[in-house]
Amino acid sequence: MDGQSFRGALTSIAAANGVNLWVQRKVDPTAPVYPGQLTPTVWAALETIAAQRDCVVMAIQDVVLVGHASWVDTMTARLLQQRTAAPTVDVQWDDLTTPTQALIEVTATASDPLPHDLWPANRWVGIDRGIAVALIRGQFEIPTQVDATAQWTRRYESGPWADAVREAAKQADPKSMVRVRDGWMIVRCNVLAHRAITSAILGRALGRPPGADAQVVPVMDDDRKFSLKLINKPASAVLTQLAGAAGRPCTITASAATNCETLVNLEAEEKTLVELVEMVAQQANVQAQWTVTELIVTAKP
């Protein structure tokens, strides 16, 4: 993906994996990105690319939102309120379609004109019609930033990530509440915590084949040396890339998320992955811990 445009990199991954994607129009779609190696999941790849433009990712109502945190969180709160049982539809429009024309494609009726713009081709599969309308209008009609303390209830399928869900919820929202019922985790917390939970679930590589861990070289025994020059790169993207070089995913906990937005400047010659990660972690003021299966980044105690 290195050298591709921001939108091009996101779109290619989304299209190859059947993901409904919606990118904030105020983020420059043509800026080149250099995410390096993308591992271990589709979600982690989208997060790594998004971080290149100081953006975050959220899955909500059968669509993945990518944009600045304030826009994504506000759109998430709006879509959480818009729960309908309407039949889903497939939506498609061609390149250079205006927002008003896109809205007509969704509703099949005349619409009040939206501000003029020319949008790239887009396709959503199996999306609620009301959600599609909200997404289009949400590019222009975002209200004031969502109340960071407001809590919303959402359910998540219980699974091997249950402990990670509880940890993510508590770190982002100390007042969060989690209860289990009929195989579901019912979580009430703020929007930031729901975003952290989504990342905790979808960013993990599950179901590793037997013996896979034995094939991973212990990081401390990896004597490969690397030279690295970074100028204004988000710490989150750099840590993810370094973890990928070791064949591991990078898990950034909610408590470290803000610090990992720090822009890193670094010039290093002939350093091991362990040394490089520690140098980046120091600049971001976070703590990085290697395990057999992943790199875990947390806030400093």
Coil, strand or helix at 275: helix
pLDDT of residue 251: 85
What is the distance between the alpha carbons of residues 243 and 294, in angstroms, rounded to a whole number?
Answer: 7
pLDDT of residue 88: 83
83-101 core/surface letters (b: 16 or more CB in 10 A; e: else) = eeeeeeeebebeeebbbbb
Residues belonging to the chain: 301
Strand pairing report for 63-67 and 21-23: parallel
And the tokens for 16?
């190859």
Residues of the chain with pLDDT under 70: 39-40, 83-86, 142-146, 148, 204-218, 292
Contact 25, 72 (CB under 8 A): no
pLDDT of residue 218: 67
Residues 6+ apart with CB under 8 A from 244: 36, 37, 38, 39, 250
pLDDT of residue 211: 40
